[in-house]
Structure 1
Amino acid sequence: MYMNDPSHTTLLKEIAEFLNEETEIDAMLQGALTKLLQGTKFETGWVFFINERGRSELVTHVSLPPALSYNGCDHLKKGGCWCVSRYRTNKLQKASNIIECQRIEAAIAADVGDHQNITHHATVPLQSGHERFGLLNVATPNTIRFNEEELELLESVAFQIGSAIKRILLTKQAQEMALVQERNRLARDLHDSVNQLLFSVTLTARAGVELSVDSDVKELFQDVQSLTQEALTEMRALIWQLRPKGLEGGLVDAIKSYAEMLGLTLQTNVTGVIQLPSRIEEGLFRMMQEGLNNVRKHAGVTKADFYITVTATDVLCILKDDGRGFSPKNEKSLPSVGMQSIRSRVEAFQGKVEWISEIGKGTELFIRIPY
């Protein structure tokens, strides 16, 4: 057995030490897979993450032959596959040889590059306890089957990687909980202190307007009242962003409530059934917050339209206004902070974002997120 092989024992120790130090899943997978290939006869490998809906995603790969890496690993990302199918039906429990791989066969048949004699691969599920994350696949040129010793080694490495994924996810979950608690505390502090002070200034300025006889003084108090009211609206928007209320009532209602808080009238249109993971739901809410902020600050209108379409694979959100618009070619005129925030959030979900706008003809924000 492999445990009697000093080289394998050393390799497992090196991988374990590496995994214990990593805090990011992408870097961890890339590094662990690289070490596995360097210490064995395996020459290439790739990892699929598979979500609860059975959707597979190629998350990392090392030393792929040109046929498999062609066009952004197009053939590995599309088509059927025995290992993914067995994983989805919960029939893949341990490291196994794959008799045939439709994705590799499709890449070879397409003749898009040298497959370097990679025709078959071994696969093993990545899991921690009863929680499953995806698949680790490895291959070697001119190799149809790997022996039991190699499969057992692969299984041990997969167990280590699965445990590391679970540890990183738990750590991030704890960090997110701490961040939510801190945001809630900051929101309470802003509401109880700064928000109340601004409200008091507004009342004082209003009283100054009513009591002043001098027109210049009255105008000054009116300016103070207007500026303070604007600051109050900004503060309430900030508190909403720190501690969103209303998501328990659904994404659309929360977005509509936020628009009302900004003084906007939002017409909503829904296609499909909104049953999204909470992470996706909150992410979309944050993106729409930024979009509505831009409407209020830059569009010069008080009405907007919101469309959301949910399919089996993704969700499309459109925010449309008939305001001032802008020239996408003129980067200096863009509300860059808000737009960059939206772009960053969308990219974090591997989604796509686009703005369509023209001076005097309004703006449309398109966001598509897979799930």
Structure 2
Amino acid sequence: MQTVNQFYRFLSRNPSDKMRLVFLYRYISLLITSFFYLLDPQSPVIFKIGVVVSLGIAAWILTDLQRRYIENNKILKVIVLTETIGLTLLLIPTGGISSPFIWYALNPVLVAASFLTSLFCWGTLFFYLSSATLITYQLFRIDNIVMILEEKSYFYLACLLATILARLFSGLTKELDLKASILKIQKMELLQVNCQLTESNYKYQETLEHIMSLYHLMDNFSSKKTPEKVTNEITKYLVKYTTVDEAFFWLTDLNHQNSHISNITTNKYLETDLRIEWHNIRKNKEPFISTINNELYWMTIIRTPIYIGVLGVKVSNSSEVENTFLLGRTFEFLAELSEIMLEKIHIDQMMEQMIVIEEQNRIANEIHDSVSQRLFGIVYSLHSLQVKNQNSTREELNQEYLFLSQSANTTMKELRAAIYSLSSVKKGEQPFIIRVKRYLNDYSKLNDINIDYHITGDESLITNKIKKELYRIICEACGNAVRHGKCNVIKLSLSILIEKTILTIHDDGIGINSKYDEDDKEKGMGLINMRSIISSLSGTISIEGIHGLGTRIQIEIPIIKNLKEHEVVG
């Protein structure tokens, strides 16, 4: 029973394996034919045992050889021919075509049918059957060979059918093996895709965590933070979320008078090296790889209204940048985030200055409208006392009142001088327009472009809110023209009229498709922000972009006249 179970496990382990089935047939046919051969009383027992043992050894040797050279057709053909000849000779002492081993002798034919060509298979069968027939005809003195063919016709038919079935089975197993190979390849591909999906899912989860951390960074970001703190925080997050060991962020102005560096590298003199290479570094408008002090860094230029700088991470080779998805996306995101932070700091500082100027103007107006009037009243009262008072001599009163009048007049002159030095309006200055011009001049120098601007009108016609939003729009539009438009020239026109304010910005960059870029999350955020700002001011915006011919933005904001009552102190 144990032997039957082992046989069943052997057969069911891989029932479509031709080699196993052929070898299985070899040993089963050897066992059965040897049993019937041993029962034959015509031959001596010792001879029959010797034949069976020899066949068993030959079967083991041939099985091992065929297993080793199953892929080598030339050697396999030699093995099959050798076995065919040997088994044909075995028929001589065992009874010719009537030998019990006649069925065992089909083994080389089945091997040829299963693993070799059809021509070789049918040739082996023909050689085997013709040799067996001739041996029987010659050794057993049969009168007519036709009698052998008639008497053993069932055997010839069985051999033909067995060979045909073996060929059909071989073709079927080849097809099954081919499909199995395809399925195996598909399985490997599915496993590979599954591994990629698992890795992508891990990267996705990791990216989400990074985005949440960056969101908290933006959420906790305060305008009270300085550029120094921004460089330190961006560098810290860059090292943390790109899994690099060394990174830096150098921020400077046009003349390198005010510079800040956050250096998480082993190079203590990195800022000096950057200053030396700055002329070549600042020309790059896209992320690039450069060597500094024999170290390879992947860098990108940071450009803001008043600052320019470089953000970089140390890499081992250029392929690391191309093959590391998270490194590239996080690096680009942090670069843009740093520009946004620095621009926000600049705009907030500008607005604080505008608020201070507005408050100075308000105080100056109050001093002019109240204090100066009070002083004038004092002078007038003293003049009246000079006329009415009769208790003192005229000479004494004249001297006293003259002194008081001169003192009061001196105070009024000093106060008026202070008022005019405090109030930019009374000096005829327009601080908002001055700051816009200063920004455009600095930005053109920082980015090596030409900005041709024309600004007209009285800034007192527009509120501080409109001034702030106009400044934000100008910064955003100029930044987009340089970063995304790759422009060399920007033409800007700002007209502050009584009814409305008109802003026109035209660049010579690559041009944009406004509908397409609004759907592009990276390029469209600037346009979305500008549209949102203009909508909050009840204005209109039109964007015209032609690929290769630049982009033109026109904005119109209506001016709503707010009547304000000023308190008069008197």
Q: Aligning the two structures, in what range does the TM-score lie when normalised by the shorter sequence?
A: 0.3 to 0.5
Normalised by the size of structure 1, how large is the TM-score? 0.47
Normalised by the size of structure 2, how large is the TM-score? 0.32
Larger RCO, structures 1/2 (Cα 8 Å, 6+ apart): 1
Return the structure number with greater helix share: 2
